[in-house]
Amino acid sequence: MLNIKLTFALAAAQIPLAGAVTSSLRPWAFSPLPLGSVKPGGWLLGEMVAMANGLAGHEHDFYVYVNQSSWLNTPGKGGSEYSSLNEALPYWFNGLVPLAYQLDDDRLKAQVHDVADTVLGYQATDGWIGPEVGDARNFWSRTPFFFGLTQLVEADSSWETRVVTALRRFMTLANKMLHNNSQGFASCPGYVDCTWGQARVHDLIITIQWMLEKYPSDQDSLLWENMNLFYAQTNYKWADWYTEGVFQEVVNPNNASNFPYIHGVNVGQGLKASSVIYRMTGDDDMVTKSQNAVDWTFQYHGSASGSVLADERERDLAPYIGSELCTAVETAYSMAYMYQVFGDNSYADRAEKTIFNAFPVMMTGDKWAHQYMDQPNQPFALNIIKSDGSVPQVFTTANSGVATTYGMEPLYPCCTVNHPQGYPKFVSNSWVMHEGGLAHALLSPSTVKTVVNGGSVTITCDTNYPFSNVLKYSINADKAFTLYLRMPEWSNSQMSTLSQSGASSSRLTLDADSETGMTKIFVNPGKTTVTYIIVAGVRTEQRPNNSVAVFYGNLLFALDVGFSQTSSLPHGYYDPSGPGISGLPFPELRDYYVNSTKPWNVAIDPSTIRYHGVSSIAILPDPIFEQGAPPNYMTVDGCEIDWPLYLGVTPDVPPLKRKCIGQRKSYKLVPYGGAKVHMSDLPTIRF
For 439-454, write each residue's pLDDT tens digit: 999 999 999 999 999 9
Single-letter amino acid code for the residue at 194: C
Would you say residue 16 has pLDDT above 90?
no
Q: What is the pLDDT of residue 3?
A: 39
Q: What is the pLDDT of residue 648?
A: 97
pLDDT tens figures, 72-117: 999 999 999 999 999 999 999 999 999 999 999 999 999 999 999 9
493 pLDDT tier (thresholds 50, 70, 90): confident
Contacts 24+ apart (CB under 8 A), 108-116: 108/52, 108/57, 111/60, 112/148, 112/152, 115/60, 115/71, 115/72, 115/89, 116/148, 116/149, 116/152, 116/159, 116/163
Q: What is the pLDDT of residue 6?
A: 33
Would you say residue 205 has pLDDT above 80?
yes
Q: What is the pLDDT of residue 508?
A: 61
Would you say residue 172 has pLDDT above 60?
yes
Domains of the chain, first to last: 68-236 (no CATH), 431-463+470-533 (2.60.420), 538-683 (no CATH)
Would you say residue 55 has pLDDT above 50?
yes
Q: What is the pLDDT of residue 13?
A: 36
Would you say residue 15 has pLDDT above 90?
no
Strand segments (E) across 127-261: none
Q: What is the pLDDT of residue 507?
A: 54
Would you say residue 259 has pLDDT above 60?
yes
Which residues are CB-neighbours of 615 under 8 A, at least 6 positions away? 464, 468
DSSP letter, residue 354: I
Q: What is the pLDDT of residue 511?
A: 84
CB neighbour class for 657 (10 Å; exposed up to 12, middle 13-18, buried from 19): exposed
503 pLDDT tier (thresholds 50, 70, 90): low
278 pLDDT tier (thresholds 50, 70, 90): very high
What is the percent of the chain where pLDDT is above 70? 96
9 pLDDT tier (thresholds 50, 70, 90): very low
pLDDT tens figures, 26-43: 999 999 999 999 999 999
The rounded distance, in Å, linking the Cα atoms of 521 and 345 is 18
380 φ, ψ to 5°? -135, 135
Average pLDDT over residues 478-483: 97
Q: Do 312 and 263 form a contact (C-beta atoms < 8 A)?
A: yes
pLDDT tens figures, 335-390: 999 999 999 999 999 999 999 999 999 999 999 999 999 999 999 999 999 999 99
Q: Identify which of 97, 116, 28, 114 has the alpha carbon closest to the alpha carbon of residue 427.
A: 97
pLDDT tens figures, 304-345: 999 999 999 999 999 999 999 999 999 999 999 999 999 999
22 pLDDT tier (thresholds 50, 70, 90): very low
User: Strand pairing partners for 482?
Assistant: 522
543's enclosing H/E stretch is strand 538-543
* 31-32 β-sheet, strand order: 31-32, 431-434, 437-440, 481-486, 518-523
